[in-house]
Each structure stands twice: as structure tokens, then as C-alpha cells.
């Protein structure tokens, strides 16, 4: 598959690889247009369906992860055209169908839809140059890809209100303190760290990895009691897997587990 707005490659040393996707519209600071979002969705689903891949890393450039939805293509829209064409809906949520972990490796600007896209990933590793913000209010609009919903869950109500209402950006250190990102690393270490995290995940049992992702997401979607109940069922279910036996036996034998994804 050839793409124009993204680059895709496989990375990693082990039997399961990492699918690396790089947003690639450098002149527009990776502004997210329809073609890019279509291509991103296709690449994500292809990696997700590939048994040889355990984890996906999504990144941008040194200057920008993504500076938001593409403003020139949004400008002419009316309510009716936005509604009928499904603006910021039909191809923006494909990422939520992916069952394998998606790590966002963010350097530079992650603004508007770029910040929202990073928040749709499973966790964010930030370069010390990263800047997060939801500046839609400056354009006379509001976030359209979940920013008003995911940002308060990520950083709490007060900071989310501050960012959404004032359009100020958070630097990487503030984003880490607020819980928006899992770790901050020097910019020149960003890809090494993100790919190493992916490699670690690739070494674990695929079904355990996918279930953890599903359950953590459930914790944010429904009542806590429902999530805990479903977690218990899946916990019991994994005692029917080969990898559970292998993992526990390897621990007791003080050797490295060899998972078979079954």
C-alpha cells in the first residue's frame, strides 16, 4: 500500500514487530485532512490485522505531532455540509477500533485535533519539546474529536477548563505532572524510548495485552462496578490460556517466559 500523507514501516528485533506510522505533511505541520485521516485509518487497521505485529507507534515530526484539523478545508463548511459529510467523524474514530496498543510519540505541537488524536492513543510519550493545547476557541469553534470529553478525564476538570477556555498550551513537563503523558524524554531519545516501550509490549502475550487495553478503556467509559465485574470474568478466562501456564511456570523456574499468543 502506498500512502501520500503518512509513512509506514516495521521496526523491532523480536518475532513480533512494531508498526510505526509517521504523519507526513511537514509543510502544514501535519494538519489532519481527510486524505491523511483515511490513510491513517487504513494503516492502523492493516497493522492491527497483522499477526506479526504486537504494537503500533504513531508519531509526527520534530516540529509537530499535528497542529490540528486542516483549517483551510474546514473554512467553507456550513452546518449542513459538516453534518451531512460527517466532518471529523467518519475517518477520525477508526483508531478506536484498533485492539492492539497504540503509543503516541509526541514532539512539538499537538494542538486541537492533534492533541485529540494523541489522546485517542493508549498512552503518550512526550519529547521535552512537546506542547499540548486545544486552541479551537480561537477559531470560533470547539473541539470536534473528543477534546472536551477526553481532556478532563486526562488532566482533571480545572486544567481542562483552563486549556479549553483560554487556549493556552501546556509544555511537556506540565503535561506529565497533569497525567496527560506517561513520560517525558529528551527530544533526541523520543523514538528510541517509544520503540523500546513497544518492543517490551511485543514480548508479552498478545491476548493479555489486548485485554488490558480493552479493560482500561472500559474504566473510562462506564461505571467502575461494571468494569471491575468484566475484568474478573476475563481474569478467570485467561486461566484457559497456554500463556498463563507458561508465564507462571517461567516465573517459578526463574527463566524468561516464551509466550505463544495462545
Given a contact cutoff of 8 angstroms between Cβ atoms, the answer to whether 167 and 151 are in contact is no
Q: Give the sign of the dihedral formed by CA 193, CA 195, CA 209, CA 13.
A: negative
The gap between the terminal CA atoms of the chain, to the nearest Å, is 30
The distance of closest approach from Cβ of residue 201 to ligand CAA in the complex, given in angstroms and rounded to an integer, is: 28
Active-site option among 19, 105, 136, 206: 136
Query: Residue 93 or residue 246: which is nearer to ligand CAA going by CB?
Result: 93
How far apart CA 3 and CA 133 sit, in angstroms, is: 28
Say how far apart CA 174 and CA 44 lie, in whole Å. 29
H/E element, 150 = helix 147-155
Would residue 93 show up in a list of annotated catalytic residues for this protein? Answer: no
Residue selected from 28, 35, 42, 149 as contacting ligand CAA according to rule CB under 6 A? 28
CA distances from 118 to 109, 141, 177 (A): 11, 20, 17
Q: Does 67 bind ligand CAA (CB under 6 A)?
A: yes
Q: From residue 145 to residue 174, what is the string marking binding to ligand CAA with x (rule CB under 6 A)?
A: x-x---------------------------
Query: Using CB under 6 A as the criterion, what x/- string covers residues 111-140 for binding ligand CAA?
Result: xxx--x------------------xx--x-
Catalytic residue among 69, 130, 154, 172: 69
Measured between alpha carbons, how far is 113 from 32 in angstroms, rounded to an integer?
7
Q: At what angle do helices 147-155 and 157-166 cross, to 10 degrees?
A: 140
When the beta carbons of 31 and 198 are compared against ligand CAA, the nearer one is 31
Beta carbon nearer to ligand CAA, 70 or 243: 70
Query: Per rule CB under 6 A, is residue 69 in the interface with ligand CAA?
Result: yes
Q: Which of residues 91-110 bind ligand CAA (CB under 6 A)?
A: 109
**Residues at the site binding ligand CAA, with contacts judged by CB under 6 A:** 28-29, 31, 67-72, 88, 109, 111-113, 116, 135-136, 139, 143-145, 147
Amino acid at each position: 500500500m502506498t500512502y501520500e500523507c503518512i509513512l509506514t514501516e516495521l521496526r523491532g528485533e523480536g518475532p513480533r514487530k512494531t508498526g510505526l506510522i509517521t504523519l507526513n505533511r511537514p509543510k502544514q505541520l501535519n494538519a489532519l485532512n481527510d486524505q491523511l485521516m483515511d490513510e491513517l485509518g487504513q494503516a492502523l487497521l492493516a497493522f492491527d490485522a497483522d499477526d506479526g505485529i504486537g504494537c503500533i507507534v504513531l508519531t509526527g515530526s520534530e516540529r509537530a505531532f499535528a497542529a490540528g484539523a486542516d483549517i483551510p478545508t474546514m473554512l467553507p463548511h456550513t452546518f449542513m455540509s459538516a453534518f451531512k459529510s460527517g466532518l471529523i467523524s467518519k475517518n477520525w474514530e477508526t483508531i478506536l477500533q484498533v485492539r492492539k496498543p497504540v503509543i503516541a510519540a509526541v514532539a512539538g505541537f499537538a494542538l486541537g485535533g492533534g492533541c485529540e488524536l494523541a489522546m485517542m492513543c493508549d498512552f503518550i510519550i512526550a519529547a521535552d519539546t512537546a506542547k499540548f493545547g486545544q486552541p479551537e476557541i480561537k477559531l470560533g469553534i470547539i473541539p470536534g474529536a473528543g477534546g472536551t470529553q477526553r481532556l478532563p478525564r486526562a488532566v482533571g476538570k480545572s486544567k481542562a477548563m483552563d486549556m479549553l477556555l483560554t487556549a493556552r498550551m501546556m509544555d511537556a513537563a506540565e503535561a506529565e505532572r497533569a497525567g496527560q503523558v506517561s513520560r517525558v524524554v529528551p527530544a533526541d531519545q523520543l523514538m528510541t524510548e517509544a520503540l523500546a516501550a513497544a518492543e517490551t509490549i511485543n514480548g508479552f502475550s498478545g491476548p493479555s495485552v489486548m485485554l488490558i487495553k480493552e479493560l482500561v478503556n472500559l474504566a473510562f467509559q462506564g461505571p467502575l462496578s461494571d468494569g471491575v465485574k468484566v475484568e474478573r470474568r476475563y481474569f478467570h478466562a485467561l486461566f484457559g490460556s497456554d500463556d498463563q501456564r507458561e508465564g507462571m511456570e517461567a516465573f517459578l523456574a526463574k527463566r524468561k517466559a516464551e509466550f505463544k499468543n495462545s
